[in-house]
Amino acid sequence: MSSDQPFITDDSAVVTETRDARMGEGRGDRFNSRLREAFGSSPFILTKFDKFLNWARGSSMFMLQFGIACCSIEMMHTYAVKHDLDRFGSGVPRASPRQADVMIVPGTIVSKFAPRMKRVYDQMPEPKFVVGMGSCTISGGPFQEGYNVIKGAEEVIPVDIHVPGCPPRPEALVYGVAKLQERIANGEASPVTVKPYELEQFSDLEQDELVEHLTDQIDEDDLVMRYNFADSP
């Protein structure tokens, strides 16, 4: 087999009885495909299960329908006509985090929203992936100096792919998602990044002056995020 022609697709050159038998009598050519033909006489392929599963996972990703700020407008354009992310097998926005694999974080995260985003992320089933869209999810972007702005999505949840831009063009987002798919298909896990603002129980914060001040209002079961703006980048 020559290298520029990995599969023999010429019917006359290979044994086709099994294949034709498998397809059944009288079927037209339209049921045939290049991939089918590539399998040749055998209906089986041999591969590692993990590899196959990764390929399947990367080829069919369900996005979370998650709009935050300006970037979500470009994200909608990416899903819609012209750019159509669905062409790449990843354009089905799901309204519920329980059905989604990928969360595109499209916008600025502020202190009030961060715990909610963390909650939504926690509700997604494993394995889950995050695409950070736009400069705000990298560093806070143009709003980095803001008193209320979290300096990047990575302060709250781990991010697999960063797509820079303000906002990134739909093409850029398509590229980012395609890169993510490629990594998933290749089984490359992304490193889980440091999360300084990890979800914390209040008991860990006893020394904190501020918490002492608030301590009587605090419920043990509460979920709490603490932002230390002085130590932020």
Residue type, 110: V
Q: Convert residues 149-188 into a mask of x (bound to another protein by CB under 8 A) and - (unbound).
A: x----------------xx-x-------------------
**How far is Cα 135 from Cα 130, in angstroms, rounded to an integer?**
15
**How far is Cα 176 from Cα 132, in angstroms, rounded to an integer?**
9
Of 5-13, 139-147, 153-161, 173-181, which segment contacts another protein by CB under 8 A? 139-147
The answer to whether 50 contacts another protein (rule: CB under 8 A) is no
Which residues on adjacent β-strands are paired with residue 182? none
Single residue of 51, 98, 112, 195 touching another protein by CB under 8 A: 112
**How far is Cα 38 from Cα 33, in angstroms, rounded to an integer?**
8
* Distance from chain centroid for Cα 227: 26
**How far is Cα 27 from Cα 16, in angstroms, rounded to an integer?**
14
**How far is Cα 93 from Cα 139, in angstroms, rounded to an integer?**
26
The answer to whether 211 contacts another protein (rule: CB under 8 A) is yes
The answer to whether 87 contacts another protein (rule: CB under 8 A) is no
Of 10-18, 24-32, 184-192, 213-221, which segment contacts another protein by CB under 8 A? 213-221
Residues forming the site for another protein (CB under 8 A): 65-70, 72-74, 76-77, 80-82, 95, 97, 107-108, 110-117, 119-120, 142-143, 145-149, 166-167, 169, 205, 208, 210-211, 214, 217-219, 221-230
